Structure 1
Amino acid sequence: MSDLESVVEETLASQLGDAAPGATVAIVNSDEIALAKGYGHADVETGRRIDKKATATRIGSVSKLVTWTAVMQGVQDGVLELDADVNSYLEDSPVTIPDTYANPVTLRHLGTHTAGFSVVPNPGLVTNSEALPRLETALVEDQPDRIRPPDEAVAYSNWGATLAGHIVAEAYDTTFEEYVQSNIFDPLGMKHSTFDQPVPADHPGNLAAPHDSSGDGITRADPVYINWRPAGSMSATALDMAAFMQAHLGYGTDAILNSETMATMHSRQYGRHPAVNGLRYGFFEYGSPSTSYIGHSGGTVYYTAWLGLLPDHDVGVFIGFNGPGDPITPAAEILAEYDLFAESLTPDPTTGRASRERAEAVVGEYKSTGSSFENDWRQVLGLLSRLSVDATDDGGLVTQTMGGDAVEWVETEPYVYHERNGDDVLAVDVVDGRVRQLYLNSQPSTAFLPVTTPNQRAVTLGAVGAAVGGSALSLAGWAGASGWRRLNRSGSGGDSKSTATDETTQPDSGEEGSQ
Structure 2
Amino acid sequence: MAKRIGTTTPGAAVAIVSGDRPVLTKGYGAADVDADVPVRADETVFRVGSVGKLATYTAVMQGVERGVLDLDADVNSYLGDSAVTVPDTYDEPVTLRYLGTHTAGFESTLDPDIVADPAAVDSLGTVLSEQQRSRICPPGELVGYSNYGAALAGHVVAQAHETTFEEYVQSELFGPLGMTHSTFAQPIPDDQPGNLATPHVRDDGAFTPADDVYINMRPAGSLSATATDMASFISAHLGNGAVGDVRILDAETAETMHSRHHVRHPAVTNWRYGFHEYGNPDANCIAHSGATINFTSYLLLAPDHDVGVFVAYNSNPSDGPKAVVDEIVAEYDLQPEPATPTPTSRPGSPERAETVAGEYSLSSLPQSGPLQVADRLAHLTVEPATDGRLQTRTLEGDTRKWVETEPYVYEEVGGQDVLAFELTDGDVDVLNMSSEPTGVYQPVPFQERQLVTGAVLGTAVSGFGLSLVGWAGQSAWRRLTQNVTQDTQRMENEA
Q: Same fold (TM over 0.5)?
A: yes
For residue 321 of structure 1, report the CA deviation from its aligned partner: 1.3
Distance 2:478 2:440 in 1: 14
Match of 1:302 in 2: 294
For residue 480 of structure 1, report the CA deviation from its aligned partner: 3.0
Distance 1:30 1:105 in 2: 36
Superposed counterparts of 1:428-443, under 5 Å: 428-443=421-436
Distance 1:482 1:406 in 2: 17
1:322 pairs with 314, 319, 322, which one? 314
Change (3 A) 1:201 1:465: closer
1:183 and 2:172 are equivalent in the alignment: yes
For residue 27 of structure 1, report the CA deviation from its aligned partner: 0.8
- In structure 1, runs of 5+ residues without a counterpart are 1-11, 486-499
For residue 184 of structure 1, report the CA deviation from its aligned partner: 0.2
Match of 1:492 in 2: none
Match of 2:262 in 1: 270
- In structure 2, runs of 5+ residues without a counterpart are 490-495
Point out the more displaced range, 335-344 or 55-64: 335-344
1:411 and 2:404 are equivalent in the alignment: yes
For residue 90 of structure 1, report the CA deviation from its aligned partner: 0.9
Q: Which amino acid aligns with 1:480?
A: W
Distance 2:98 2:481 in 1: 21
Match of 1:9 in 2: none
For residue 124 of structure 1, report the CA deviation from its aligned partner: 1.6
1:56 pairs with 16, 23, 45, which one? 45
Distance 1:271 1:149 in 2: 16
Match of 1:339 in 2: 333
Aligned residues with identical type, % of pairs: 52
1:228 and 2:217 are equivalent in the alignment: yes
Superposed counterparts of 1:274-285, under 5 Å: 274-285=266-277
1:358 and 2:349 are equivalent in the alignment: no
- Assess if the C-alpha contact under 8 Å between 1:212 and 1:220 holds in 2: yes
Q: Which amino acid aligns with 1:51?
A: R
Q: Which amino acid aligns with 1:129?
A: P
Change (3 A) 1:215 1:164: farther
1:368 and 2:359 are equivalent in the alignment: no
For residue 49 of structure 1, report the CA deviation from its aligned partner: 1.4
Match of 1:480 in 2: 471
Q: Which amino acid aligns with 1:29?
A: S
Distance 2:449 2:161 in 1: 47
1:134 and 2:126 are equivalent in the alignment: no
Point out the more displaced range, 86-95 or 245-254: 245-254
1:423 and 2:416 are equivalent in the alignment: yes
Q: Secondary structure at the match of 1:457?
A: coil
Q: Secondary structure at the match of 2:37?
A: coil
Q: Which amino acid aligns with 2:468?
A: G
Q: Which amino acid aligns with 1:477?
A: L
Distance 1:316 1:504 in 2: 31
For residue 502 of structure 1, report the CA deviation from its aligned partner: 7.0
- Assess if the C-alpha contact under 8 Å between 1:430 and 1:437 holds in 2: yes
Match of 1:444 in 2: 437
Distance 1:364 1:412 in 2: 20
1:73 and 2:62 are equivalent in the alignment: yes
1:103 pairs with 92, 100, 107, which one? 92
For residues 144-183 of structure 1, the C-alpha deviation after alignment (integer angstroms, 9 at most, x for no partner) is 1111101111111111101101110111110000000000
Q: Which amino acid aligns with 1:257?
A: L
Match of 2:5 in 1: 16
For residues 241-264 of structure 1, the C-alpha deviation after alignment (integer angstroms, 9 at most, x for no partner) is 111000001142862101000000
Point out the more displaced range, 443-452 or 396-405: 396-405
2:393 pairs with 370, 388, 400, which one? 400
For residue 407 of structure 1, report the CA deviation from its aligned partner: 2.2
Q: Which amino acid aligns with 1:482?
A: G
Distance 1:327 1:319 in 2: 6
For residues 60-100 of structure 1, the C-alpha deviation after alignment (integer angstroms, 9 at most, x for no partner) is 11110000000000000100000111111111111111111
Change (3 A) 1:332 1:453: closer
For residue 347 of structure 1, report the CA deviation from its aligned partner: 3.6
- Assess if the C-alpha contact under 8 Å between 1:197 and 1:225 holds in 2: yes
Q: Secondary structure at the match of 1:389?
A: strand
- Assess if the C-alpha contact under 8 Å between 2:292 and 2:468 holds in 1: no
Match of 1:197 in 2: 186
2:108 pairs with 97, 107, 119, which one? 119
Q: Which amino acid aligns with 1:249?
A: L
Q: Secondary structure at the match of 1:188?
A: coil
- Assess if the C-alpha contact under 8 Å between 1:299 and 1:504 holds in 2: no
Q: Which amino acid aligns with 2:469?
A: W
Point out the more displaced range, 356-365 or 100-109: 356-365
For residue 45 of structure 1, report the CA deviation from its aligned partner: 1.8
- Assess if the C-alpha contact under 8 Å between 1:480 and 1:503 holds in 2: no
For residue 377 of structure 1, report the CA deviation from its aligned partner: 5.4
Q: Which amino acid aligns with 2:362?
A: S
1:453 pairs with 436, 441, 446, which one? 446
For residues 202-237 of structure 1, the C-alpha deviation after alignment (integer angstroms, 9 at most, x for no partner) is 112221121212444111111111111111111111
- Assess if the C-alpha contact under 8 Å between 2:115 and 2:466 holds in 1: no
Change (3 A) 1:313 1:504: farther
Q: Secondary structure at the match of 2:442?
A: strand
Q: Which amino acid aligns with 2:304?
A: D
For residue 277 of structure 1, report the CA deviation from its aligned partner: 0.5
Change (3 A) 1:103 1:420: same
Q: TM-score, normalised by structure 2?
A: 0.91
Q: Secondary structure at the match of 1:290?
A: helix
Change (3 A) 1:501 1:379: closer
For residue 479 of structure 1, report the CA deviation from its aligned partner: 4.0
Match of 2:162 in 1: 173
Q: Which amino acid aligns with 1:361?
A: T
